[in-house]
Amino acid sequence: MTVRIGISGWRYAGWRGVFYPAKLPQRCELFHASQHVDTIEINGSHYSLQSIESWQAWHDTVAGNFVFAVKGPRYLTHQLRFRDEKAIPAMANFYASGVLALRRKLGPFLWQFPPNFMFDAERFDRFLSLLPKNTREARALAAQHDTRVESPWYRTTGNSRLRHAVEVRHDSFRNAEFPAMLREHRVALVVSHAIADWPYAEDVTSDFIYMRLHGADTLYGGSYSDVALDRWAARIHAWSQGKEPPDAIRIGPGPARTATRRDVFCYFDNDKKVHAPFDAQRLRQRVPGTVLPAKR
């Protein structure tokens, strides 16, 4: 069982001179952040294919026990939307871009769908079936890349499990069929807290929990109070021990199957007012068993 608490992204102008020391070179910001949290979501991969040089640089910048979550491309989730076979080469390009170069520092993949993406069982099952379950499947998928990837890289060895988490924002996903599908594919439903009209659910659909805290007062803004952090700490502790909070909010029926332990990944996305890195550290102090950032 491992509990990791971190931040969504690290390159924000408003953090400079507040979280980041004044005059710290931008190239040093990831290293600085990695000294204060033990996991970070990579957001750049959501907006464009990253180069192998970027993936390798991120791997080399952080300590050995650090883990990145990687956000899947919006080209897949927001544009193609897994309507047809075009999703296969697009998915292949993503895995051929070099993401596997993160090696042991590669954590869960986050697949965020837009607010106007409605639940369609057939289409969503197509998406879930495309997700590689391990690095061997990812390499086989990457081999189907097209010319959009100028310098393909997927030369990994061995075979490690890959984890996936899904965040949805349309009310049609309040359908018991949805968490059942996730559970069948061992994909986590993101526990997504936001001051927005997005479906909130705590169904346990995999052997790990993925949380995103988008802001206490406004979307992407506002610091979480001590009371709120105490509540999140209690929920994280329950999930990590293989249990559930007694007041768990679910879409599907019944409690989750009891597990021995579960890994938990929690990311603060309230970055507008520079609260995310500080709230992450405050929450980590409240949760026993969290991974401590390794100093280099």
CATH number of the domain enclosing 14? 3.20.20.410
pTM of the model: 0.95
Task: Examine residue 290 and state whether it is found in any structural domain, yes or no.
Answer: no
Position 296 scores a pLDDT of 62
The CA distance from 21 to 40, in Å, is 19
Calculate mean pLDDT across residues 176-187.
Answer: 97
Q: Determine the Cα angle at 173 with ends 168 and 178, to 5°.
A: 100
Looking at the structure of the chain, the number of domains it has is 1
Residue 113 pLDDT level (bands cut at 50, 70, 90): very high
Task: Examine residue 291 and state whether it is found in any structural domain, yes or no.
Answer: no
Name the DSSP letter for residue 218: B
C-alpha distances (whole Å) from 124 to each of 103, 141, 180 are 28, 19, 12
- Cβ neighbours around 84 below 10 Å, total: 10
Per-residue pLDDT of 221-272, as tens digits, reads 789 999 999 999 999 999 999 999 999 999 998 777 777 899 999 999 987 7
Domain that holds residue 86: 3-284
Per-residue pLDDT of 277-295, as tens digits, reads 999 999 999 998 787 776 6
Task: Examine residue 295 and state whether it is found in any structural domain, yes or no.
Answer: no
